């Protein structure tokens, strides 16, 4: 069974293949992160950390959801990815959500199928 770190690498690689709005800038934010930490609750969500004083072109004008995309999976539920920005407009976290309200753990053998959609917030 893949570890959460292995899943994380998979989701990050997947995210970088999606034709997101401001895709090049999203990549730049990810590459600028000095550290990425997995959510403490045990889910697949992760946070990005930047060095103090780092200046990046922002993704959003204020904190909150930047965009969302979701994939069909080989299981009952789809896998949703929410890109959330901090007050500077920097990509602060990526919520990885499986099923309604994220109450079901992600199955160990999950695989993504087709991209269902990309939604830009606001």
By the criterion CB under 5 A, which residues form the site for Zn ion?
A: 39, 41, 43, 45
For the bound state, the minimum distance from the C-beta of residue 42 to Zn ion, rounded and expressed in Å, comes to: 6
Smaller CB separation from Zn ion, 105 or 117: 105
Token pair for 10:
């998979």
Tell me the CB-side half-sphere exposure of residue 85, using CA atoms within 13 A: 23
For the bound state, the minimum distance from the C-beta of residue 47 to Zn ion, rounded and expressed in Å, comes to: 10
For the bound state, the minimum distance from the C-beta of residue 46 to Zn ion, rounded and expressed in Å, comes to: 9
Smaller CB separation from Zn ion, 45 or 70: 45
Specify which residues 23 forms β-bridges with: none
For the bound state, the minimum distance from the C-beta of residue 25 to Zn ion, rounded and expressed in Å, comes to: 25
Smaller CB separation from Zn ion, 24 or 101: 101
Smaller CB separation from Zn ion, 58 or 91: 91
Spell out the residues 6+ positions from residue 25 whose beta carbon is closer than 8 angstroms to its own.
56, 57, 59
Q: Which residue is listed with tokens 């994380």?
A: 8
**What is the spatial distance between Cα 61 and Cα 43, in angstroms, rounded to a whole number?**
28
């Amino acid at each position: 069974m893949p570890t959460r770190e292995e899943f994380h690498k998979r989701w990050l690689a997947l995210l970088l293949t999606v034709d997101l709005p401001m895709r090049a800038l999203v990549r730049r934010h990810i590459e600028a992160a000095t550290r990425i930490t997995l959510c403490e609750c045990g889910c697949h969500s992760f946070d990005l950390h930047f060095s103090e004083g780092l200046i990046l072109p922002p993704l959003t004008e204020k904190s909150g959801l930047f965009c969302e995309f979701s994939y069909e999976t080989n299981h009952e539920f789809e896998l949703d990815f929410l890109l959330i920005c901090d007050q500077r407009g920097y990509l602060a976290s990526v919520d990885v959500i499986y099923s309604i309200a994220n109450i079901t753990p992600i199955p160990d053998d999950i695989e993504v199928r087709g991209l269902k959609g990309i939604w830009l917030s606001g």
